[in-house]
Amino acid sequence: MFALVDGNKIYMSCERVFRPSLNGRPVIVLSNNDGCAIARSNEAKDLGIKMGAPWFQIRHLEVTADLVALSANFPLYGDMSDRMMSLAAALGPTQEIYSIDECFIGLQGVRDVTLRAWAIRSRILQWIGIPCGIGIAPTKTLAKLANHIAKTAERKPGSYPAELAQVCNLAELSSSQLQSLLERAPVTDVWGIGPRLGAQLIELGIGNVQALRGLDPATARRRWSITLERTVRELQGYSCIEMEHGPVPKQMIACTRSFGQVSQSPFSSGTTVRLSCLSGARLGSGRCISFSTGTSSQFCVIMV
């Protein structure tokens, strides 16, 4: 059994812990140099702000829609994440930190899993102020889906049964209940099913999770990949993805900067390139492997 603990919009939640006046207002967090939006509150999403939207294109919303834009505070987010992960670890004997706001918990030998999950969620919210969704299931793929259902049921009443909001344990459902639930879940909500693969599956009539769950694993492997075969088996309840107990070595380190407006100054561009190279070299143990620039009609992006 696995649980996935996921902090709700952790950048936004961290900011609202220290600035409660931001609750209920459209808020975005901007990237380094305030180049683009890297986190959005639900209220900001309702304004049509897309992830990665350049700041200069949406700046007018400060006046017209009371938008609040914040510079990213990564040390704060990292500290709050560490605290959340420390509390989440009490849910089970093993933990895999998957990202800054997500961790898998192995539940071997844990009794009263759902009650314990509710207690951990309440503790995280009370002690550090970050709301979480917790999904519980026999496999990591199903736990990821259960977490999505838990968060969606809370955010969009009526999308899923209300009793599955915040904490969703798929292992407690009967076969008929689970089938009915998975028929309501779009296939693109499955971990690892991207837009392109999702479109292919939908074209073949595999539009929901239950339909994908019923796909023959050998067919999935032959027609697509061993990765999809593994996903299908996980949806069928066979655990194929084990817990990882150490950090995965980084294969690539990117240090990027974007200008908020057109820059034609060699001095400005050169300074940014130099600083990005130094930053990238520090992250890569003194090695700068490659350098590239990209431009659009509106702004310039430098990647090291």
* Confidence band, pLDDT 50/70/90 cuts, at residue 298: very low
- What is the per-residue pLDDT for 251? 58
Task: Give the residue-averaged pLDDT of 104-117.
Answer: 94
- Over the stretch 42-74, which tens digit does the pLDDT of each residue have? 999 999 999 999 999 999 999 999 999 999 999
Q: What is the mean pLDDT of residues 135-153?
A: 96
pLDDT of amino acid 202: 95
Domains of the chain, residue spans: 1-7+77-172, 8-75, 185-239, 253-303
Which residue type occupies 195?
P
Tell me what the mean pLDDT of segment 132-152 comes to.
Answer: 96
Nearest-angstrom CA–CA distance, 88 and 104: 9
Name the class of domain 185-239: mainly alpha
More confident position, 205 or 291: 205
Q: Helix, strand or coil for residue 151?
A: helix
Per-residue confidence (pLDDT) for residue 272, from 0 to 100: 66
pLDDT reading at 289 higher than 70: no
Q: What is the mean pLDDT of residues 241-264?
A: 65
Euclidean distance between CA atoms 165 and 185, whole angstroms: 14
Of the two residues 265 and 97, the one the predictor is more confident about is: 97
> In 8-27, which positions are buried (b, 16+ CB within 10 angstroms) versus exposed (e)?
bbbbbbbbbeeeeebeeebb
- With 70 as the cut, is the pLDDT of residue 293 above it? no
First to last CA, the chain: 41
CATH 2.40.110.10 describes domain 8-75: no
The predicted structure's pLDDT at residue 231:
96
Confidence (pLDDT) at 219: 94
Instruction: State the Cα–Cα distance between residues 238 and 215, nearest whole angstrom.
Output: 14
CA distances to 44, 73, 81, 154, 200 from 124, rounded to whole Å, are 25, 21, 11, 17, 40
Q: Which CATH architecture has domain 1-7+77-172?
A: 2-Layer Sandwich (3.30)
User: What 3-state class would DSSP assign to 29?
Assistant: strand
